[in-house]
Amino acid sequence: MHKRNFSILAIVFLVSAAASSKAGRFAGHAIAPGTIEGIISYTGTPPKMKPIDMAKEPSCAKQHATPVMTEAVGVGPGNTLEDVVVYVSAGDKGPQASQPATYEQKGCQYIPHVAAMEVNQPLEIYNHDQTSHNIHPMAKLNSEWNKSQPPGSPPLKVTYEKAEFIPVKCNVHPWMHGYFAVLGTSHYSVSDDKGTFTLKGLAPGKYTITAWQEKFGTQTEEVTVTSGGTTKANFTFKAVPY
């Protein structure tokens, strides 16, 4: 498998300078994409997440054997944080992302809680529930709109032109909250339920990366990416209970 990648990568490398998202390792060549990865954690006491009572929407309530929790501060094992957006704020921003990002309304939740996307990257919003939703992204720099999607509606297709962290709510179901992280780069990663993030396909060089958490704000770090190497960068947020 590596030999095959080796031949393909060699051709790509010879033909174009565009970074591909699959980084191979080949010994002996000077330039290869690198990776930044790390863990987001917190100190202090984060607020307790509360269970969401979806009783008012029975078709959603019955999809959850146990109630889902609010997601504003998602915590993982070892004091880690989920749903933190890590992105390149200075340095090579990468090629324009063109694959659509997706956002789903399912079980009266937004999945994912935070959808990261690049400016002008298409976004498709689906309603998989038996109830009507009215998604309302409350943008300040971009245009603010809301749109109803009765059950069985086709997906909404939107793009945002300016970088902004847009809170998203459902006008019909007050507990539904999420974010669109519209970024000026295609190098982004949202931390998973163990708090880990990975930025791949970075051309070697100096970068500033920013981590954003919806309640705790942002933190930045300066990182250097080596050719074909993996650089570690961790973030620690200060959590307060209220």
Q: Interface residues with other proteins (CB under 8 A)?
A: 47-58, 70-73, 131-132, 134, 136, 138, 146, 148, 150-154, 167, 169, 171-175, 177, 214-215, 241-242
Residue closer to other proteins by CB (options 12, 172) is 172
> What is residue 13's three-state secondary structure?
helix
Residue closer to other proteins by CB (options 70, 218) is 70
Q: What is the DSSP secondary-structure string of 200-235?
A: EEEPSEEEEEEEEETTTEEEEEEEEEPTT-EEE--E
Residue closer to other proteins by CB (options 157, 232) is 157
Q: Provide the minimum distance between the beta carbon of 73 and other proteins in the complex, in angstroms, as a whole number.
A: 8
Residue closer to other proteins by CB (options 57, 118) is 57
d(CA 125, CA 123): 7
Q: Three-state SS string across 104-143, please?
A: EEECCEEECCEEEEECCCCEEEEECCCCCEEEEECCCCCC
Residue closer to other proteins by CB (options 35, 132) is 132
Tokens of 172: 């019909």
Q: Provide the minimum distance between the beta carbon of 214 and other proteins in the complex, in angstroms, as a whole number.
A: 7
Q: Provide the minimum distance between the beta carbon of 163 and other proteins in the complex, in angstroms, as a whole number.
A: 21
The residue written with tokens 């078709």 in the block is: 59
Of 168, 147, 164, residue with least CA distance to 156 = 147
Q: Provide the minimum distance between the beta carbon of 109 and other proteins in the complex, in angstroms, as a whole number.
A: 12
Q: Provide the minimum distance between the beta carbon of 48 and other proteins in the complex, in angstroms, as a whole number.
A: 8
